[in-house]
Amino acid sequence: MSTIHNPRPVSNGMRVLSIGTDRKLFEDGSAVRERQTAYAEKIGDLDIIVFNRGSGLHSLRFDTVTLNPTNSRSRFMYGLDAWRVARKLPKPDIITSQDPFETGLASLFIARVFRVPLHIQVHTDFSSKAFSRHSFLNWFRVQIAWFVLRRAARIRVILQKTADDIRRKGVKAPITVLPIFVDSAHFAAIPRTKHARWKIALLAIGRFEKEKRFELAIDALAAARAQGHDVGLTLVGEGSLRQAYYRHAQHLRVADRLYMQDWKKDPASLYAEADMVLVTSRYEGYGLVIVEALSAGVPVLSTDVGVAREAGAIVTTPQEFSRSLLKWIADGPRKGNIAIAPYKDFDEYVERYCNDLLSTR
C-alpha cells in the first residue's frame, strides 16, 4: 500500500495557478465553478488557465478566482499559449495541473520557470493496459505522465489502486488519495418509480466512444430478450458511435428495446426509473455513475474498472457480462447499496482538498 501523507492545516493568503481543460468553468452555476469558488475561499487567490480552441471564451473574474482561456488556434499551441497567459499573471506560490498529460507537461515547464512546487492530479487510470492500447495518443500520454509525475512535488489521485501503481514505478513524491465528492444524500432522496415501457429497465450513461464499450450493454439486452424477459435499455450520452450502437441493436433485433437520449445535466430522473445500471468501460478514472447509482439504491453491473469493486457494484468480466445480467435478473439484488463514504459532506471534501493543495514536501 502507498503511504498517504497527512497535509498540514490550510493557511490562507496563497496564490495558486491551476491549469486544465474544463470549459464548464465558464458556465455560471456549474458544479465545477462552485468547487473552484469553494477552494478559493480557503486558499486565497486562484488563477485558472483553461486550454481551449478558438476565441469564443473571455477572461472572467469572480470572488478571488480568475479564468483565463488560452484561445489557441490549434491544440498543438495549448502549452505555448498557457505560458503566454501565465507570464501576465502574478507569480503563484503553487502550480497544480488537472492531469499528468498535456496540461501536466505545460504545468511542469511553467513551474520550473517560476521555481515553484508542482502538484499533479490524476483522474484517469492511465496505468491500465486498456488505456495505453486504446490509441497511439493514449500511449504517448502515458509516456508524458511518467515523465511529469517523476518531477512533481506532490500528487493527488482518486483511487488507492492508482497510488499503488505510481509508487511501484518508483515515483517518490508524496501521494494523497482524494476520491471525487458525490452528494450521496441527493441521490439517496430520489423517489423510485417504474419505467413506463419495460418491466426491467436497464440504464447506461457515458460518452458514445470506443472506451465505453456500450456494445456489451446491447449484447446483454439481446441475451435477456432471448430468454423472454421484458427488458429495455436506455443509453444516455453523446459521441461518434451513436449510429454504430443503433445499427448493432438492429443487427441483434433489439432496436425497439433501445432508447438513446442526449446527456442530462442532472441524471436523477434516469436513476429514478432504472432497475439496473450497466457500466461496460474498458477503463475508468473513478466511475462517478457507479457511485451515483448505488447512492440512489440502483444496483450496478460493471466491469472491473475505477471504483466499482470498492463501491459495491456487481463486478464481472466482459466475457461474462451477459450471463451476469441474466443471473442478476434471476437472483437480484434488487436494491443497490453504496459501500464507501469518504466524506461526511462537501465542506469536509473542500477542506481536505485545500489542505493537500497547500502542502509541500
DSSP, collapsed to helix, strand or coil, labels residue 69 as: strand
Report CA dihedral (145, 147, 150, 155) to the nearest 10 degrees. Answer: -20
The pLDDT score that the predictor gives to residue 250 is: 97
HEC string for 73-89? CCHHHHHHHHHHHHHCC
Does residue 349 share a domain with residue 308?
no
The pLDDT score that the predictor gives to residue 341 is: 84
Does residue 146 share a domain with residue 171?
yes
Does residue 54 share a domain with residue 174?
yes
Does residue 35 share a domain with residue 177?
yes
The answer as to whether 155 is a domain residue is yes
The answer as to whether 137 is a domain residue is yes
In the chain, the N- to C-terminal Cα span, in Å, equals 20
Does residue 210 share a domain with residue 174?
no
Does residue 262 share a domain with residue 170?
no
Does residue 134 share a domain with residue 196?
no
The answer as to whether 218 is a domain residue is yes
Global pTM? Answer: 0.84
The pLDDT score that the predictor gives to residue 13 is: 79
The pLDDT score that the predictor gives to residue 347 is: 93
The pLDDT score that the predictor gives to residue 6 is: 41
Domain count, the chain: 2
The answer as to whether 167 is a domain residue is yes
The answer as to whether 3 is a domain residue is no
Spans of the chain, pLDDT less than 50: 1-11, 361
Judge contact between 144 and 136, C-beta under 8 A.
no
Does residue 250 share a domain with residue 132?
no
The pLDDT score that the predictor gives to residue 4 is: 40
Which residue range is the domain that position 244 belongs to?
185-331
Does residue 212 share a domain with residue 101?
no
The answer as to whether 97 is a domain residue is yes
What does the alpha-carbon distance between residue 275 and residue 200 come to, in Å, rounded to a whole number?
6
Q: Of 208, 214, 218, 212, whose CA–CA distance to 241 is shortest?
A: 208
The pLDDT score that the predictor gives to residue 7 is: 43
The pLDDT score that the predictor gives to residue 12 is: 60
Judge contact between 208 and 214, C-beta under 8 A.
yes
DSSP, collapsed to helix, strand or coil, labels residue 218 as: helix
Does residue 210 share a domain with residue 150?
no
Judge contact between 352 and 178, C-beta under 8 A.
yes
We report the CATH number of the domain holding residue 166 as 3.40.50.2000
The answer as to whether 295 is a domain residue is yes
Burial class (CB in 10 A: 0-12, 13-18, 19+), 301: buried
What does the alpha-carbon distance between residue 293 and residue 284 come to, in Å, rounded to a whole number?
16
Kindly tell me the sign of the dihedral angle through the C-alpha atoms of 284, 104, 142, 23.
positive
By residue count, the chain amounts to 361
Strand order in the sheet with 300-303: 258-261, 231-236, 200-205, 276-279, 300-303, 314-316
The answer as to whether 338 is a domain residue is no
Does residue 234 share a domain with residue 147?
no
What does the alpha-carbon distance between residue 236 and residue 96 come to, in Å, rounded to a whole number?
32
